[in-house]
Chain A
Amino acid sequence: MAAPFPSASADAEHRGAGETGTAAATAPAIEAVGVWKSFGRVEVLLGANLSVARGEIVALVGDNGAGKSTLLKILSGVESLDAGEIRIDGQMIELRSAADAQRLGVETVYQDLALAPHLDVSANLFLGREILRPGVLGGLGFIDKKAMLRAASDDLQLLGLRVREDLASSRVVDLSGGQQQAVAVARALTWGRRLLILDEPTAALGVRETAYVLDAVRKARDERGLSVLLVTHDLLSALRIADRVVVLRLGRDCASFDARVVSVEQLVGTITGVFDGSTRANGSEPGEAVL
């Protein structure tokens, strides 16, 4: 499929918009440039751009079918892209699998949570990164369950997500939806070094749990300088936590707002296409600079 290459200006403007966060003048922590993706005949992404500066929290919003989930999956290595580039710290990289992204410090909380329901919480937090016993036993692949339980318990408490005393040793299948979501978020927060990608992280959560999760995410940014990409339908949460809100519409990024000044009405208008119908209605100029 022939993908018109995106104009560099779109990218540049996004970088400019990142000034609201603690972004340095350096390259963004991660950026997607002119990403195209289609599934069969369905074109989902038509040259979408997105960048998240170091220590910036970006909310990605958009209507159903705008391509949010696809863009997220591409950034987390689950889907490949047809055309375009992913850059980390300004360097072009190729993500062939979720493991590739994780090695680069990108952790994702998927909407379906991606937990192993029959394993306990500590096993899930450490899945694929088990702590081994010291010495010969460790060399034989023996795992240190106690150490993982302890570490998991500490992590959950630190994140303010320890909603149950025995959470670390509970099977995931026995937890409520909100608790499961908390576990998935805790795993990403524990392991993420560069970027956290959160797909509807508060969809199953109550008001108080939502506040916990958002606080934990902000803390991870403040204390460890993590970048955060938040995909959400919940515009109020987005405005509450994000530095910048990017609107994806019909497979392209169509606007980027400073979260301090934009209103929900403005966002809704942009998401639905009311506010920039003039430039988007025909949609025949892929890759053109917006804003």
Chain B
Amino acid sequence: MSRPAPTVGAGSEAIGEPNRVEQERALATRLRRAQAVGARAGDAASQGLIFGVLLFLIAFFSILLPNQFPTAFNIRSMGISASVIALLAIGQTYVIIGGGIDLSVGSVLVFSGVVAAKLMAAIGPGAPLAMLIVAGAGVAVLTGAVWGLLNGFLVVKTRIPDLIVTLGTMGIALGLAQVLTNGVDVSVPLVLTTQLGNGNAIGVIPWLVVIALVIAAIMQVTLSATRFGRHTFAVGSNREAGRRVGLRVDAHRMKLYAISGLLAGLGGFLSLALYTNTTIAGHSTDNLVSIAAVIIGGTSLFGGMGSVFRSVAGVLVPVVLQNGFVIMGLQPFWQPVAIGIVLLGAVYIDVRRRSPR
């Protein structure tokens, strides 16, 4: 199509006007397309950002501390200390993508651990390891899932804000755990620690890391490739839209809290195996750590966007920082400072990314 070139300063209204309109429209279209391409590139960059940050930190400390940081022993201990919190962060990712939040994960972890420890004590320390694991893990997972369902039920049915519901159950679960134990930590058979908590699955790769990675992989695939995952995004993106196309939005949200509780229950069992007792007082900040990991990983605090793998990277960044700082002889108190800055940066990117362009 040949279009007459615009004549500067000339052109009567009748000819010039529609021509200019057409040109402006073409320009606007081109502009929008360019913006969309740029935005998508920016999107991809911000999505990969957390992996870049993690790799940078690992490279940084490896170069700075070549004899202490990149050793098998050090990497192994970082992996172990990240794996329990990773389970919490994976469940938290589902809840947050679905538009909610779960403050109760640390307490649910403790409560489930207490129930599992009591059960294993009742079975007896002489029982075979497999039996201890099946019974302990089974009851911990079940207990966690029940707490999660309770959270979900309260959020969906009572319309109490999720923040308050899970703040409430956080107190209730921790309090009940202390009531059950009189506030005294319950120990578990040592074999659980030597074989599972500190044991290796393959070579120097610990069981806890393998378990966390396998679950992360399953949950990532479920999120990105299944109907359940897609509905999770939809529910978090626009609940009402989900309802209007016939999604069972309330049931779905309950399931998300159940997943979070279930993984916290499993985390409770693995925590027992790792620390040989219920560490009741040791998980008061697990909820915030897991939420920070999810947000640092680029999952939107407002729902509708996110990834499990990036949350795992979000767990590892603080662990690596802490570890590096300690080896360097820096005061470890710098770690929360660094994490706070990373968190603010992540949320800033999220806020910008969410707004339409």
A residues sitting closer than 8 Å to B (CB atoms) are 78, 97-99, 102, 108, 110, 112-119, 123-124, 127-130, 132, 140-143, 145, 164, 166, 170, 173-174, 176
Tell me whether B152 is interfacial, beta carbon within 8 Å: no
Greatest chain B CB density within 10 A among A97, A117, A127, A129 is at A127
- Closest residue of chain A to B355 (Cβ to Cβ) is A173
Give Cα distance in the complex from A140 to B221, angstroms: 12
- Closest residue of chain B to A117 (Cβ to Cβ) is B237
Q: Chain B contacts of A130 at CB under 8 A? A: 227, 230
- Closest residue of chain B to A116 (Cβ to Cβ) is B237
Give Cα distance in the complex from A12 to B136, angstroms: 70
Q: Are B244 and A78 in contact (CB under 8 A)?
A: yes
Q: Chain A contacts of B32 at CB under 8 A? A: 176
Give Cα distance in the complex from A204 to B238, angstroms: 20
Tell me whether B128 is interfacial, beta carbon within 8 Å: no
Q: Chain A contacts of B236 at CB under 8 A? A: 118
Greatest chain A CB density within 10 A among B228, B237, B240 is at B237
5 A-B residue contacts at CB 8 Å?
A116-B237, A116-B238, A124-B241, A127-B245, A141-B227
A118-B305, A127-B245 as given contacts; A170 in contact with B36, CB under 8 Å: yes
Q: Are B39 and A143 in contact (CB under 8 A)?
A: no
Tell me whether B159 is interfacial, beta carbon within 8 Å: no
Give the Cβ gap from A177 to chain B, nearest Cβ, in Å: 10
Give the Cβ gap from A169 to chain B, nearest Cβ, in Å: 10
Q: Are B39 and A174 in contact (CB under 8 A)?
A: yes
Q: Are B230 and A143 in contact (CB under 8 A)?
A: yes
Give Cα distance in the complex from A171 to B247, angstroms: 20
A127-B245, A143-B226 as given contacts; A118 in contact with B36, CB under 8 Å: no
Q: Are B230 and A110 in contact (CB under 8 A)?
A: no
Give Cα distance in the complex from A130 to B231, angstroms: 10
From A115, A118, A141, B228 is in contact (CB under 8 Å) with A141
Give the Cβ gap from B28 to chain A, nearest Cβ, in Å: 10
Number of interface residues of B (CB under 8 A): 29
Q: Chain A contacts of B225 at CB under 8 A? A: 142-143, 145
Q: Are B242 and A116 in contact (CB under 8 A)?
A: yes
Give Cα distance in the complex from A128 to B33, angstroms: 30
Q: Are A119 and B234 in contact (CB under 8 A)?
A: yes
Tell me whether B243 is interfacial, beta carbon within 8 Å: yes
Q: Chain B contacts of A123 at CB under 8 A? A: 230, 233-234
Q: Are A140 and B233 in contact (CB under 8 A)?
A: no
Give the Cβ gap from B111 to chain A, nearest Cβ, in Å: 31
Give Cα distance in the complex from A205 to B305, angstroms: 28
Greatest chain B CB density within 10 A among A97, A142, A166 is at A142
Q: Are B356 and A127 in contact (CB under 8 A)?
A: no
Give the Cβ gap from B29 to chain A, nearest Cβ, in Å: 9
Greatest chain B CB density within 10 A among A128, A173, A176 is at A128
- Closest residue of chain B to A170 (Cβ to Cβ) is B36
Q: Are B356 and A114 in contact (CB under 8 A)?
A: no
Q: Chain B contacts of A116 at CB under 8 A? A: 233-234, 237-238, 241-242, 304
Q: Chain A contacts of B126 at CB under 8 A? A: none
A114-B238, A116-B233, A174-B39 as given contacts; A98 in contact with B246, CB under 8 Å: yes
Q: Are B226 and A141 in contact (CB under 8 A)?
A: yes
Give the Cβ gap from A46 to chain B, nearest Cβ, in Å: 26
Tell me whether B357 is interfacial, beta carbon within 8 Å: yes
Give Cα distance in the complex from A123 to B233, angstroms: 10
- Closest residue of chain A to B28 (Cβ to Cβ) is A176
From B244, B247, B304, B357, A118 is in contact (CB under 8 Å) with B304
Give Cα distance in the complex from A129 to B231, angstroms: 11
Q: Are B244 and A110 in contact (CB under 8 A)?
A: yes
Q: Chain A contacts of B33 at CB under 8 A? A: 164
Q: Chain A contacts of B237 at CB under 8 A? A: 116-119
Q: Are B230 and A119 in contact (CB under 8 A)?
A: yes
Q: Chain A contacts of B244 at CB under 8 A? A: 78, 98, 108, 110, 114
- Closest residue of chain A to B357 (Cβ to Cβ) is A174
Interface string of B240-258 (1 = CB under 8 A from A): 1111111100000000000
Q: Are B247 and A127 in contact (CB under 8 A)?
A: yes
Q: Chain A contacts of B356 at CB under 8 A? A: 117, 173-174
Give Cα distance in the complex from A219 to B336, angstroms: 62
Q: Are A143 and B245 in contact (CB under 8 A)?
A: no
Q: Chain A contacts of B238 at CB under 8 A? A: 114-117
Greatest chain B CB density within 10 A among A99, A129, A145 is at A99
Greatest chain A CB density within 10 A among B33, B228, B234 is at B234
10 A-B pairs with the lowest CB-CB distances in the bound complex, closest first: A99-B246, A118-B304, A116-B237, A128-B245, A118-B237, A114-B241, A141-B226, A114-B244, A116-B234, A116-B238
Give Cα distance in the complex from A141 to B228, angstroms: 7
Query: Besides the contacts A117-B304, A176-B32, what 18 more A-B pairs have beta carbons closer than 8 Å?
Result: A99-B245, A108-B244, A114-B240, A115-B238, A116-B237, A118-B237, A118-B305, A118-B354, A119-B233, A119-B304, A123-B234, A128-B246, A142-B225, A143-B227, A145-B225, A166-B36, A173-B354, A173-B356
Give Cα distance in the complex from A145 to B230, angstroms: 11
- Closest residue of chain A to B303 (Cβ to Cβ) is A118
Give the Cβ gap from A149 to chain B, nearest Cβ, in Å: 13
Q: Chain B contacts of A112 at CB under 8 A? A: 240
Q: Chain B contacts of A166 at CB under 8 A? A: 36
Q: Are A127 and B241 in contact (CB under 8 A)?
A: yes
Give Cα distance in the complex from A129 to B242, angstroms: 11
Give Cα distance in the complex from A176 to B228, angstroms: 28
A128-B247, A141-B226, A173-B356 as given contacts; A118 in contact with B233, CB under 8 Å: yes
- Closest residue of chain A to B302 (Cβ to Cβ) is A118
Give the Cβ gap from A56 to chain B, nearest Cβ, in Å: 24
Q: Chain B contacts of A132 at CB under 8 A? A: 227
B residues 1-53 with Cβ under 8 Å of A?
32-33, 36, 39
- Closest residue of chain A to B305 (Cβ to Cβ) is A118
Give Cα distance in the complex from A170 to B37, angstroms: 11
